[in-house]
C-alpha cells in the first residue's frame, strides 16, 4: 500500500534528506507489516484510527521508547496527509492520535578541557592524521551537522571572506564565519589532499583511499577520538555540534546568532543549550545583586 510517489514527494517537494526518507520508509513498511498480520486491509481507505492506535500500543508493549513511537506516528501523519491532499482517502485516520509525552533530553557535550586534550593529541605526521584533525576542527569551530560536512566541497570555502557555505536540511544554504586559524589549517590540508584525492572527487573530506569519506567513516572517526579523550556519554559528531553551541553560549554569544549558525528553523531548538548557563548565571547573580552580596557578607 505504501506508494513510491510519496517518497518522491518527500525528496523533491519537501526536500527531505535520504536518511529521513529511509526512516519514513522503514516506519511505513513496519506499519504495513503489522496490518497484514493483524487485519484484513487492502487499501489505505480501510485503515482506521483504532488500527493505528493498536499498532502504537504494540510498539509500547515491545519496549519501544516514546521518542521512537512519536517518530513513527509522525511518519504516518505525513503519509496520510499526503494521501488526503491527493483525495486518495476521505478521512485522515491519524488526526485523533496524540503524541506520547517524552522526558526532556539535554544534549551531551564535551568540555573545553576534553576538546583541548583531543585536538592536541593528534599529530600531523601523515595525511590521515591531518584529515582527522581537520574533521574535528570543522565540527568544533562551526557546529555543522554530519550530513553537512559529508557533502562539503572545497568550492564551498571562501578564503577571502573566511566563510563556508553549508547546505543543510531541505537544501537550505547558510554562510558560517570561520576563524583565520581554521582557514590556515584548511589550506594546509587541501595542499596535502591534492596528492591523495582520486580524480573527480570534489568532497572536502576523503578517506585513506582518496574517495569520498562517507557518513559512517566520519562518524567512526569522531567516536574514536572522543573515546580516547575520555568523553563520557554519547560519542558522535552531534556531540561536537552540541559542544560548539554550548561553548558559544557560555562565552556570551547571542542565542539568535547561534540559531543562524546552527541552521535551526526555530529558536526553540536552540534554547535547549541554555541549561549550561545556569551555574554561570548563579555566579553572576551573586557578584552583581546587592541582596545576594549582603547575604554573603552576613
Q: Which residues are catalytic?
A: 145, 169, 238, 241, 264, 273
Close Cβ partners of 239 (under 8 Å, ≥ 6 residues apart): 107, 108, 109, 110, 222, 226, 231, 233
Q: What angle do CA 119, 123, 125 make, to 5 degrees?
A: 155
- The rounded distance, in Å, linking the Cα atoms of 295 and 298 is 5
Burial environment of residue 31 by CB neighbours within 10 A (0 to 12, 13 to 18, 19 or more): buried
Pick from 119, 159, 123: which is nearest to 141 by CA? 119
Amino acid at each position: 500500500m505504501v506508494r513510491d510517489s510519496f517518497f518522491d514527494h518527500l525528496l523533491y517537494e519537501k526536500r527531505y534528506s535520504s536518511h529521513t526518507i529511509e526512516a519514513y520508509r522503514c516506519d511505513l513498511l513496519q506499519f504495513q507489516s503489522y496490518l497484514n498480520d493483524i487485519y484484513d486491509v487492502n487499501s489505505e481507505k480501510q485503515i482506521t484510527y483504532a488500527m493505528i492506535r493498536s499498532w502504537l500500543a504494540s510498539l509500547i508493549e515491545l519496549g519501544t521508547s516514546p521518542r521512537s513511537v512519536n517518530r513513527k506516528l509522525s511518519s504516518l501523519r505525513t503519509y496520510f496527509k499526503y494521501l488526503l491532499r491527493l483525495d486518495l482517502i476521505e478521512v485522515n485516520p491519524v488526526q485523533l492520535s496524540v503524541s506520547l509525552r517524552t522526558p526532556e533530553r539535554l544534549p551531551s557535550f564535551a568540555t573545553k578541557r576534553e576538546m583541548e586534550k583531543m585536538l592536541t593529541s593528534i599529530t600531523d605526521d601523515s595525511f590521515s592524521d591531518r584529515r582527522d584533525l581537520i574533521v574535528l576542527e570543522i565540527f568544533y569551530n562551526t557546529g555543522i551537522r554530519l550530513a553537512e560536512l559529508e557533502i562539503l566541497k572545497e568550492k564551498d570555502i571562501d578564503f577571502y571572506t573566511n566563510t563556508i557555505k553549508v547546505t543543510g536540511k531541505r537544501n537550505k544554504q547558510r554562510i558560517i564565519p570561520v576563524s583565520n586559524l581554521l582557514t590556515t589549517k584548511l589550506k594546509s590540508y587541501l595542499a596535502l589532499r591534492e596528492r591523495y584525492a582520486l580524480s573527480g572527487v570534489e568532497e572536502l573530506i576523503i578517506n585513506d583511499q582518496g574517495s569520498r569519506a562517507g557518513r559512517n567513516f566520519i562518524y567512526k572517526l569522531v567516536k574514536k577520538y572522543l573515546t580516547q579523550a575520555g568523553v563520557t556519554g554519547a560519542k558522535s559528531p552531534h556531540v561536537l555540534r552540541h559542544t560548539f553551541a554550548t561553548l558559544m553560549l557560555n562565552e556570551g554569544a547571542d542565542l539568535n546568532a547561534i540559531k543562524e549558525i546552527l541552521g535551526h528553523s526555530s529558536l526553540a531548538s536552540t534554547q535547549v543549550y541554555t541549561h549550561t548557563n545556569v551555574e554561570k548565571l548563579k555566579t553572576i547573580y551573586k557578584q552583581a545583586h546587592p541582596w545576594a552580596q549582603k547575604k554573603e557578607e552576613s
